[in-house]
Copies of this chain bind each other. A is one copy, B any other.
Amino acid sequence: MSQADPGGGPDRLVAALRRSHVLHGFDDAEVATVAGIAMLVEIDAGDTVVEQGSPGDALYLIIEGDAEVVRDGRAAAKLSAGDFFGEMAMFNRAERVAAVRALERLQLVAIDDGRLQALMLRQDPAATKLVQQLGTLTIERMQDTDAQLQARLAPQDPALAVDLAQHQQLHRQLLAGWALTYHAVGKPGKIGVNSTKPSATAADLSVAYSPGVAQPCLAIRDDPEAAYAYTSKGHLVGVISNGSAVLGLGNIGALASKPVMEGKAVLFKRFADVDAFDLEVDEGDPAAFVDTVVRIAPTFGGINLEDIAAPDCFWIEQECQRRLDIPVMHDDQHGTAIIVGAGLLNALELVGKRVEDVRVVFSGAGAAGFASALHLLALGVAPGNLILTDIDGVVHRGRVLPDYLRPLAVDTSLRTLADAIVDADVFVGVSAAGVLTPAMLQSMARDPIVFALANPVPEIDPGLAGQTRSDVLVATGRSDHANQVNNVLAFPYVFRGALDVRATAIDEHMKRAATTAIANLARQPVDADAGFDPAGLSYGPGYLIPKPFDRRLLPEVATAVAAAAMESGLARQPVELSAYRDQLTGAPRL
């Protein structure tokens, strides 16, 4: 027998809500708001709480007792006090994907989905917080289950493989649903603009605005450098796109690229405390796009170009940097190049090969491929040892090529990736799923190094690569495999270092410095300074590249970039490097 609102009144409901860690950190008013759309429910052992396939009209927090999730008649998971279920309906509004059955007497809090949605529409803070908490916990749970299933997959259990596939499909659906809700709940979007100075009183506003504000205006009129002292310019990065090559989605236009650009701003803030603001520029013509960026540039201390299609992106970046005296970087090119470079330096060190000796073959000659190739040459790869391939095969001197590719064309009789890869030491894929076949991998030299960066499906599956050759080292673009090549390891810190010395540009020397700093960090023990749970990480084939949440990245990479800018003579405001590193570490020596 089930019983809704089994007595005890609102106090009992509030007490139950207080016991759920879903409401961790909620204040009394917030708990009261949730209580207003919830009720206590008790379920007898053996009874079903929700049926698979039924419409979801509530979500449930388990206060006491165990339950099991039953999917297609099979027990899929066990739930206990502190868990919750039914939240999936909230994110993608589908029917229940599984049943839940009480294993013993359950005490639940049922939260009415319709009333929760109504509160969300009004941007109610408690509802916003509840939904955000549920979303974060749901995705974390899915990630944990992914990891557990993958860990158990090694023994090649076909039933487990089915479970994993099923789970991953659910994960994708849920992530897609939650991604939309995440963006929409509360104030739409992901960024806001805040006042960083006191603005409460008339006295404050008399200096923030007229009449006092005339003073910094005049100071800047008389000396443009004063803008770094009196405005936010020096810590502002413009994240600028025309939406012509967004993620893997192609040319979806400026407006549709805004969620990505806001996301980039979030990453700048999260990892390097850089204030980044996105601008979506509705302009396809490269010259007009550059004019636009140059005109608005006084606003910013640096420009992060983003998701601009090749080949326009090359000229656009060069031209913006040529015309501006602030750092400009197209992250799709150099962010990727820096991480590939760092990973390669470490992989070569581990297999005992010298960078000037190795043969490198690229699949993909777009923004990331081209820039990574140039960067590897800058790191010491011999020009004759580097072969680019694209959808038309080897980039050789006999081909009709776009201007930007000509300098990288080689004089060779090789025509296909399969030709070029024979005896190569390194494969860098920034192209498409499955391009590197097991036969190609077999043909590579000893201890082959494979960067399979196509997303979401790499050029070769890491598991398949390992089965094909036990001596392979693999990196991908995915967070659920070892050695993720993730731009977020570079761009926040490259800009932070460049901004902090008021660099006039970002040059090759600064990018190489970032590469070396990132490579060196992976060689350090992952200790308490890293600020995240290392889970047994240590430098080796499974850990060539630092993890995004390693908080040592900020002091290490930004300091290296600042030092390089000073060496290059690009720093308008040199810093004392040791004090600067300490300041970024958050532990200044006094």
| Interface set of A (CB-CB < 8 Å, partner B) | 122, 132, 135-136, 139-140, 143, 175-176, 178-180, 182-184, 186-199, 201-221, 224, 227-236, 246-249, 252-260, 262-267, 269-270, 275-283, 288-289, 291-292, 294-299, 455-456, 479, 488, 548-549, 583, 588
A231 and B183 in contact, given A212-B176, A252-B217 (Cβ under 8 angstroms) = yes
Q: Do the beta carbons of B194 and A194 come within 8 Å of each other?
A: yes
A299 and B178 in contact, given A188-B229, A192-B194, A202-B479 (Cβ under 8 angstroms) = no
Q: Do the beta carbons of B292 and A193 come within 8 Å of each other?
A: no
Q: Do the beta carbons of A269 and B183 come within 8 Å of each other?
A: no
Q: Do the beta carbons of A277 and B280 come within 8 Å of each other?
A: no
Q: How far is the CA of A196 from the CA of B280 in the complex (A)?
A: 19
**Contact check: which of B175, B214, B455, B488 meets A212 at CB < 8 Å?**
B175
**Contact check: which of B204, B231, B254, B549 meets A202 at CB < 8 Å?**
B549
**Contact check: which of B209, B252, B298 meets A221 at CB < 8 Å?**
B252
Q: Do the beta carbons of B299 and A139 come within 8 Å of each other?
A: no
**Contact check: which of B135, B195, B216, B235 meets A207 at CB < 8 Å?**
B135
Q: How far is the CA of A252 from the CA of B204 in the complex (A)?
A: 24
Interface residues of A: mostly helix, strand, loop or mixed? Answer: helix
Chain B residue contacts of A267, Cβ below 8 A: 205, 208-209
A256 and B220 in contact, given A184-B229, A189-B232, A189-B233 (Cβ under 8 angstroms) = yes
Chain B residue contacts of A248, Cβ below 8 A: 214
Q: Do the beta carbons of A175 and B207 come within 8 Å of each other?
A: yes
Chain B residue contacts of A262, Cβ below 8 A: 231-232
Chain B residue contacts of A548, Cβ below 8 A: 202, 205
Q: Do the beta carbons of B280 and A296 come within 8 Å of each other?
A: yes
**Contact check: which of B249, B455, B549 meets A218 at CB < 8 Å?**
B249
**Contact check: which of B186, B210, B236, B249 meets A197 at CB < 8 Å?**
B186
Q: Measured between C-beta atoms, what is the minimum distance from A305 to chain B in Å?
A: 14
Chain B residue contacts of A178, Cβ below 8 A: 207, 212
What are 19 A-B contacts with C-beta separation under 8 Å? A175-B206, A186-B197, A187-B232, A188-B234, A190-B232, A192-B194, A193-B276, A195-B270, A208-B263, A208-B267, A209-B488, A214-B247, A214-B249, A221-B253, A233-B255, A277-B277, A279-B299, A281-B295, A288-B295
Q: Do the beta carbons of B549 and A183 come within 8 Å of each other?
A: no
Q: Do the beta carbons of B196 and A192 come within 8 Å of each other?
A: yes
**Contact check: which of B132, B258, B288 meets A298 at CB < 8 Å?**
B258
**Contact check: which of B190, B270, B299 meets A280 at CB < 8 Å?**
B299
Q: Measured between C-beta atoms, what is the minimum distance from A60 to chain B in Å?
A: 21
Q: Do the beta carbons of B588 and A143 come within 8 Å of each other?
A: no
Q: Do the beta carbons of B190 and A197 come within 8 Å of each other?
A: yes
Q: Measured between C-beta atoms, what is the minimum distance from A332 to chain B in Å?
A: 12
Chain B residue contacts of A255, Cβ below 8 A: 220, 224, 227, 233, 298
Q: Measured between C-beta atoms, what is the minimum distance from A91 to chain B in Å?
A: 10
When C-beta atoms are compared, the residue in chain B nearest to A195 turns out to be: B266
Q: Do the beta carbons of B233 and A203 come within 8 Å of each other?
A: no
A182 and B209 in contact, given A140-B203, A231-B188 (Cβ under 8 angstroms) = no
Q: Measured between C-beta atoms, what is the minimum distance from A234 to chain B in Å?
A: 6
Chain B residue contacts of A270, Cβ below 8 A: 195, 199, 205
